[in-house]
Structure 1
Amino acid sequence: MKFENNNKEIIKRITNRTLKTNKIRNTFAIMAIVLTTFMISSVFSIGISFAKNYKTMNIRLQGTTANVVLSNPTDNQIEKIKSLDLSDSIGYEINAGKVSLDSLNENRTKISIKYLSKENFEKQVKPSISDIKGNYPTKENEIMASKKALEFLGESEAKIGDKIKVPCNINGKIINKEFILSGYYTNYALVQDSGYLFVSEKFVNANSLSLEDNGLLYLSLKPKDKSTAPDILEKEVSLNKNQEFSFSYGISNDLSDTVLSTMAIIVIISLFIVLSGYLLIYNILYIAVNKDITFYGMLKTIGTSPKQIKKIVKGQALKLSLIGIPLGLLLGAIVSFLIVPLAMGTLFAGTEASAMPRDVSFNPIIFIGAGIFSLVTVMISCKKPAKIAGNISPIEALRYSGSTLKNQKKNRRTTKGSKLYKMAWYNVFREKKRAIIVFLSLFMGIITFLSVNTFLNSISVENYIDRYVKNDFLIQSVEGNDDKIDSDFINKIKDMKGVNSISLSKSSNLQLDMSKDVLLPALENIYERFGNTKEDLNEYLNAVSEDPSLLQASVIGIDDNLIERLNEELEDKIDVEEFKKGNVAIADSWYYPENYKSIKGDVTIRNSKDNKSKTFNMNVVGDTSELLPPGLDAPLGIPTIYISNSALEKLDNDAVNYILNINVNKKYESKINKDLKALSKARGLWFESKSEKTEEFNKSQMVMNILGGGIAVILILIGILNFINVMITGVNIRLKEFAIMESIGMTKKQIKMMLTYEGLYYALITTGFILTLGIGIIYGIGELSKNIADYAAFVFPTTALVVLIIVILTVCLITPAIVFKVSTKKSVTERLREIEN
């Protein structure tokens, strides 16, 4: 009968002293724990920060969290809507007028005056603005202004409490009002020509303004009711003749494909990190147990139980964790706070970049979870080594060679078995679990590096510029309803030295005649795509048959230069000459089903105001060039129609100059950039510069390269470190075997060659996994990148793959021989005597 002793203090002392005598091992183990904890915490912190900031950016660009709007609501309608209990919040705004200034008219800018209800401001608008200073106005002579409004008023330096004179146009009457600034804020709407002044309820009452005559009702639907709300509202709420519910289910309320794909990539990389960290920690502890196996065997001879030996091994791991995990969490927090502000906005530019917050989601759960996860990883990693140390007998400990006894087989004496490459193959798989650790470590490190490399190359600045920035400069009147780009403006640009070409697009909103061949397929496709029923479509078609003016379309005119460039990139060519003559119209295939090539027919565009009309032969084209200007607002399912500028001018004399595409001599690009930006800003026009876009992306790409590349390089080093550790262990625990081989005539050169073969096998097998399973993973990362950025293009990392394979081959070939040389400096006789002792 065996009685187990209970010397807890002795076990603790042995654990501590064993740690003190293995300083190098401890350093490697702590580094492994620090790296694992650091990478888990920082990757998840950065990933969650990105998801939250991306959601905030979309709310800012949308301008509100509300997704249903009803104009001129009555008290009865509001009460009925509240009783339906479909909304998280119900707010409203009252249009109080606009600012009347000559400078605003000259620059085609505007400042709207609005009153927001408390719920509208606090719950619906406030999440979409930032840098809020002061408070919402409560007194009749107080205002809160957007910074853009203060800029238009020439009061950019105004402070809270300052008096600002504002000429207000209220219901057509000009009132010169002196307001006190109660607050200001930054807004991020895509429309650059608008500023906003918020007034108090007392101001609205004093000017006899009402919600029913001048207001909009905003609803933020509950997520569970979003799909059913349209039918319920339209069925239960009685609307007046000119009223209708406007639904806008923005991506601000749901995680978009971008966020989901980003999180998928982060999860994949995190799994690689966790597995690589586990392998490294396991390998270091496994090596330590192998090295000290004789010591554990001797402990057994003096009565130490297997349970106590396991406690010693686990106790060492736990103490190392208490050092490594806090250091890893601290490093992860530091890196997160440094990198997140730089990384946010990397995939966006212009207004979107300014709307992208730089906030760090310092959620304690992330770091607590990372700490617990690392601790669990360490404890799981030491389970197998602890089991080996606890179960081995003293006699087995003296003979232990790193392989489990059940796997050790007597060598068969064959002439083939003596060949070095066969001996090396046997040695590689003699300890299968150890071989798997090496293969996984190398594979995971390399694949993570290649995955990051693939992702970064896919979203490179070149891909973005090639897809979206087709011209040196773009100037756009975003709303397309004011002629901000007049002839004087265009002539100023033409007179600039270095301007090579200017391409002009015009816009108008015109009526279409219903066409079963051309328009109906688009309507049916879009209604189905957006979850509307056939009854919804039939209701719209019936309304159109009664009132043809409801069939409005955004009609865009494009010049000869643009249509020629477009036709060069189209897969399905059009008759350019007929288009220029005004006989052909085109529409983007996005509106149509997959068989859009079979769509043939005519479309009639009608200007009911001037009693003009023209019939065009419609060509539906699959435009991937991004050359066609974006369309303006139109009823659901009505495609944007593109015709020649000359044809549009004949239909509508008041067609507005919409977009200018400008290309210049590179020599003068810098000066022209400055001048065009100033001209555009003065008129509240959207301005885009290819050189600025390129510069922005280059900066952000550098940040991504540092962040992603750093993580990948660390994982590669972990893989290589694991390989080196395994080879060191393999050589050290086989010194007895090598000494015996030398004693019976095998030369050191032959042993080195055998070990070199072993390294070669590790490299070749790992390369095989990379070229099969690895390529599949890389391709998957490339496809996910397309969901994160629609300009992404899969780029196979050929150069990186070749370089890494060369590095792995080099390391795997030279490491075993070097380790053997360092470990066998003594003579064969001396080594055999040590073994006997």
Structure 2
Amino acid sequence: MKNDNCSMVYKLADAYYRKNKSKNIILTSAIAMSIFLIYSVFAIISGKMDADYLLYARNGGEITSTYLENASKEQYESIKELDYIEELGIKKYVGYAKVNKMDEGIVEYLDKVGFEKLVKPAYGEIHGKYPEEKNEIMLPIRWLKEYGIDNPQIGMNIDMQLRNKESGEEYENRGMILSGYYTDYVDPGINAPIAYVSYKYMNEQKIDIFPVDEIMLLQSNLYDVFSIEEQLYKDIEMLDEQQQFIGQNTLVRQSMEDLFGNYLVMGCCILIIMISAFLLIYNVVNISVRREIKQYGLLKTLGCSLKQLKTIVRIQTEKMLFKGVVIGGILGVGVVGILIRGTLERLFFKGKGDADSISIFYWGYLLLAIGIVSLTTFFATNLAVKKTVRLSAVESMRYSEYSNHVFVKHIHSAKKTSILWMAWRNVKRIPTKFMISILSLSIGYIAALGTLVITVGTDTTNNILKNPDFKISSIIEMHMISEYIPKEFSDQTPVIPKSEVEAIKNIDGIETVNISKGGFAVIHPQEDKALSPKMKASAGESREEFATLQIVDQKYIEELQQYVQKFKISADIEMLKKGEGVILLHHHELSPVLEEEVDKVPGTNISFYNLDSYGKDDTEKIKLGEMKCAGYIDTKNKHFPDLQMTTNGTNIIYFIISQEGFEKLGMDEKNFVISLNVDTLREPIIKQNVEKLVENVNKKSQEWNQLLLYSNSEHLASAQSYIKVTNLVLGTLGIVLLAIGIMNYWNTIVTGIQTRKHELVIMESIGMTGKQLRTLLIAEGIWHWGIVIVLVGTVGYGILWLMGESIKKELAYFRFYFPWKLFIILAIVLLIVTIEIAELIYHQTKKGSIAERLRFNLE
């Protein structure tokens, strides 16, 4: 007769639950730890990436990732149809406004998407709304303070001086109504303040939106800086050969690359987390349920149906799952909330506003963690119960995972090899449990090492430490000082005086000195075919331009040659090396059409004239000589060899030339930049001396001819907050994953020994001494330990090396470093843990006499 006593089933489930307190604690802890692991890892990573995103946005003033300048309405409509473009906005430069008597601010118009989606996220403390009427304007707080307004009110009148970009230099006095104001976080020394006006203002000033100055694009995060440009050029037809897309990584992608290097590494980290959580729960559930197979067999003998048996197991599992979810959820939410809102805001956002927009609680990740852990728990439970279902009642009551057969002749042997052999037999008796414990420990071990590899390799300190300790350079920009040529600045005028260079070299404690040298010249871009792509890119029509020629040594030329060969760049390095040609450097300024045109210029001539020739008739110009163009190279390529360039390379044409070629032109050699590496202990004193020398030079120089001093230690100090947060995030992940591995190993060993108590007592009863038993248990742990160490030292090293190579493709400054010290420390820690576990188990199994233990384990 079918037994369908539901009340009895629940009573049995409750009785088993109360009886198995140790099992319940272990499984509840495993569930809680898994919930905490999954939630905290995802939440901390997201919090860090959100913080990076917000920081990048505030530093940049917008979240736009790609631009198209001077775009037509047709192009705008075509881009809008592309499925990989998530946001598309319009930016129109309207004109300028006086901030004070000297400085100018920029007046812009943005469409709704441009402001709401692409610019607004970079601002803080936004009050009011974007202008809608023709007399309305939106201003930054720093601009309002320039007007003496410390307490702005929406709707207040502000008298401003405005001029349109087409109206020449004349400003118009006009009263404007403040529709809104905001706080920006860009560097005020570099970025002018921006005022926003309405579409109606544009109409009044008869300014057409199209062609638009900039189309602002935000692409899918799957596209990097190179792939987005390539795809857009395929899908959108350019108006002319000068027009080009300027691509960048999205801020989301950039924050991911800064933390992990690329999506592959991030995906592997997430996979490791999921596997670690699954192995922990599966192992604990599988072991705990299998320990009850004899009891379940007895229930089957008494008439319990398979459905009722499953219900008994399910009820117990649900109770433990509920407790584990509550504990793990509270622990994860509490720890992550404190870490994100406290640490990230305290270390990250000094001077960059607050972190209110960063979430401290992620519902989605908590639900994901609960869902994954719940499914894993029930999946593991069902697998274990199926074992019971397949056995008959009698087989279930006799079930044991371990064979009781013992090699007696080895027990009585005093040889250590026999004990080790017995330990190896015990370790590999159940391959599934053995593999799970080895895999879990190895994953945790490799994950802990991997987090340090990523932390050390992606540490921006690597990039900063490549810089010299001190760098001295000039603020000269030739296009800005043309009015001083040749009376105040000529071919013979030094940039950094030679006397100061010698004085710096003589300072005690300076270890190495690197000086960038070269000269300035006048060129005629309209006459030299080689310069045509560059001039088309900048829409330049001037008959005269200034050029910078920087001397590069043979070592750098060799590096450049390897770079050109590796990336198949069209440049004649041999021509440069022989002193017959120059290479033009540009900052990603060429469209695909112009890049094709560049392939035709190598070998064409470029004429150079001295500075005294600037502004003179052709008959009065003094020609220095000619050089062949050896090609163009983009300095923004992440793998471009490091070159200490002078600060005036952005707005003028910039060449590199060999020493031999420079001497052929007969130019006066100038010191552009001096970089110094110094004795660390004497750095503070050296800094004081160098500062005095620079200060003395600047006292004798005009404002346009000043020197700048860069201190790498100050740069590193300012980056420490960012570095600490990154290291904290990755270090936390490694510790948690290693803890999961150790917990899994503990559960495997401890629960395994529990099921072998009867076997161990029998072995003692037939002659195994206490010393041999202790040695056996320790040997079993050492077998686990040794296999893990070998796997991590071989397979783990290979995995981490491949991961490093993958990251290096994205981060040029990445340095692979296998943390051997941590490897040894963790090996020692794991060895101690395995020995302590064996000792603990040994002392537990020795409680009571052999007869008492035999009787207890047979019951």
Q: With structure 1 as the length reference, what TM-score do the two structures score?
A: 0.75
Report the counterpart of residue 298 of structure 2 in structure 1.
Answer: 298
- Does the 8 Å contact 2:525/2:535 carry over to 1? no
Cα deviation, residue 443, structure 1: 0.9
SS at 2:359 equivalent: coil
Report the counterpart of residue 150 of structure 2 in structure 1.
Answer: 157
Cα deviation, residue 750, structure 1: 1.4
Q: Alignment length, in residue pairs?
A: 772
Say what the alpha-carbon RMSD is for the aligned residues: 5.6
Report the counterpart of residue 318 of structure 1 in structure 2.
Answer: 318
Residue 135 of structure 2 corresponds to residue 137 of structure 1: no
Residue 641 of structure 2 corresponds to residue 624 of structure 1: yes
- Does the 8 Å contact 1:289/1:385 carry over to 2? yes
Among 99, 108, 112, the residue aligned to 1:114: 108
Residue 790 of structure 2 corresponds to residue 790 of structure 1: no
- Does the 8 Å contact 1:585/1:642 carry over to 2? yes
Cα deviation, residue 269, structure 1: 2.6
Among 741, 757, 762, the residue aligned to 1:740: 762
Report the counterpart of residue 523 of structure 1 in structure 2.
Answer: none
- After superposition, the Cα gap between the structure-2 partners of 1:589 and 1:504, relative to the gap in structure 1 and judged at 3 Å, is closer
How far apart are the structure 2 equivalents of 1:331 and 1:835?
38
Report the counterpart of residue 91 of structure 1 in structure 2.
Answer: 90
SS at 2:248 equivalent: coil
SS at 1:704 equivalent: helix
Cα deviation, residue 372, structure 1: 0.7
- After superposition, the Cα gap between the structure-2 partners of 1:31 and 1:490, relative to the gap in structure 1 and judged at 3 Å, is farther
Among 815, 819, 844, the residue aligned to 1:822: 844
Among 35, 38, 42, the residue aligned to 1:37: 35
Alignment of 1:157-556 (within 5 A): 157-161=150-154, 164-170=158-164, 171=167, 172-187=169-184, 192-201=190-199, 203-204=201-202, 208-211=205-208, 216=213, 218=215, 220=217, 234=237, 245-252=243-250, 255=253, 258=257, 261-340=261-340, 359-360=358-359, 364-392=363-391, 395-396=394-395, 399-403=398-402, 408=403, 410=405, 419-467=418-466, 469-472=467-470, 482=480, 555-556=547-548
Cα deviation, residue 758, structure 1: 1.4
Spell out, residue by residue over 1:287-346, the C-alpha distance to the aligned partner (whole angstroms, 9 max, x if none).
Answer: 433544443333233212344223322322222111212432343334444444678799
Cα deviation, residue 707, structure 1: 2.7
- After superposition, the Cα gap between the structure-2 partners of 1:656 and 1:290, relative to the gap in structure 1 and judged at 3 Å, is same
- After superposition, the Cα gap between the structure-2 partners of 1:442 and 1:65, relative to the gap in structure 1 and judged at 3 Å, is closer
How far apart are the structure 1 equivalents of 2:739 and 2:66?
49
Report the counterpart of residue 707 of structure 1 in structure 2.
Answer: 729
Alignment of 1:617-766 (within 5 A): 624-628=641-645, 641=656, 666-667=684-685, 669=687, 689-766=711-788
Residue 10 of structure 2 corresponds to residue 8 of structure 1: no
Residue 782 of structure 2 corresponds to residue 770 of structure 1: no
Cα deviation, residue 452, structure 1: 0.7
1:331 corresponds to which letter in structure 2? Answer: L
Among 133, 139, 146, the residue aligned to 2:140: 146
SS at 1:248 equivalent: strand
How far apart are the structure 1 equivalents of 2:627 and 2:9?
92
SS at 1:30 equivalent: helix
- Does the 8 Å contact 1:473/1:688 carry over to 2? yes
The answer for unaligned runs of 5 or more in structure 2 is 508-512, 564-574, 634-638
- Does the 8 Å contact 1:556/1:643 carry over to 2? no
- After superposition, the Cα gap between the structure-2 partners of 1:67 and 1:274, relative to the gap in structure 1 and judged at 3 Å, is closer
Cα deviation, residue 422, structure 1: 1.7
How far apart are the structure 2 equivalents of 1:507 and 1:158?
50
1:114 corresponds to which letter in structure 2? Answer: E
How far apart are the structure 2 equivalents of 1:504 and 1:390?
80
1:20 corresponds to which letter in structure 2? Answer: R
How far apart are the structure 2 equivalents of 1:581 and 1:541?
25
How far apart are the structure 2 equivalents of 1:829 and 1:776?
52
Cα deviation, residue 719, structure 1: 2.1
Spell out, residue by residue over 1:347-394, the C-alpha distance to the aligned partner (whole angstroms, 9 max, x if none).
Answer: 99999x999997238554333222111111111222333234445555
Identity of aligned residues (%): 24
Among 593, 612, 615, the residue aligned to 2:626: 615
How far apart are the structure 1 equivalents of 2:354 and 2:264?
24
Spell out, residue by residue over 1:9-62, the C-alpha distance to the aligned partner (whole angstroms, 9 max, x if none).
Answer: 222222223222333332222221122112212222344455566667666638
2:641 corresponds to which letter in structure 1? Answer: T
Cα deviation, residue 169, structure 1: 4.5
Cα deviation, residue 513, structure 1: 8.9
- Does the 8 Å contact 1:588/1:623 carry over to 2? no
Report the counterpart of residue 572 of structure 2 in structure 1.
Answer: none
How far apart are the structure 2 equivalents of 1:552 and 1:305?
97
Cα deviation, residue 155, structure 1: 4.4
Cα deviation, residue 450, structure 1: 0.7
- After superposition, the Cα gap between the structure-2 partners of 1:228 and 1:766, relative to the gap in structure 1 and judged at 3 Å, is closer
Q: With structure 2 as the length reference, what TM-score do the two structures score?
A: 0.73
Report the counterpart of residue 604 of structure 1 in structure 2.
Answer: 606
- After superposition, the Cα gap between the structure-2 partners of 1:142 and 1:308, relative to the gap in structure 1 and judged at 3 Å, is same
